[in-house]
Structure 1
Amino acid sequence: MKDKFKSSSSSGSCFYFLGFFGAAYYFISTAAGFWLGVGGFFKAVVWPVFFVYEAFRFLEI
C-alpha cells in the first residue's frame, strides 16, 4: 500500500537545479571580484527561500 502513494520529487529537483544554475550564472558573472563570486554562489543556493518569502508576502499569507 505504501508504493501506491509513493511520490517523486524529480520535477521539483529539476526546477531547483535550473533555477540554481541560472542564479549562479547571473550572480557569478556580475561579480566584480573572486569573493563576490563566492558570495554569488551562496546567494544562488538560497534564492528559493527569498522567492517563497516574497510570494507569501505578496499573497498576504
Structure 2
Amino acid sequence: MNEKHKHLGSRGSCFYILGFFGAAYYFISTSVGFWMGVGGFFKAIVWPVFFVYESFKYLGL
C-alpha cells in the first residue's frame, strides 16, 4: 500500500464519529422516555442509512 492511500479511511471515520455524536444528541434529546432514548441511540448508529436514503429520494435516483 502506498503512502497516498494509507490514510483515506480516517477522513470517513472522523465524519461518521462527528455525525454519530450529533445524531445521538438529537435523537436522545427529543425522546420522551427511556426506551425511546435507547432507540435513539441505535438510530444514531445507523444514521448514514437515513442520510443516503433521503438524499437519493431528494435527487430522484
Find the aligned partners of 1:5 and 1:39 in 2 and give their Cα distance. Answer: 39
Gaps of 5+ in 2: none
- State TM-score, norm by structure 1: 0.81
Aligned length: 60
Q: What are the within-5 Å matches in structure 2 for residues 1-12 of structure 1?
A: 2-4=1-3, 6-7=5-6, 8-12=8-12
Of the two, which has the highest radius of gyration?
1
How far off its partner does 1:10 sit? 0.9
**Does structure 1 residue 29 correspond to structure 2 residue 33?**
no
Question: Share of identical aligned residues, percent?
Answer: 68
Per-residue Cα deviation, 1:11-34 (whole angstroms, up to 9, x for no partner): 111111011001101111111111
Report what 2:45 is aligned to: 45
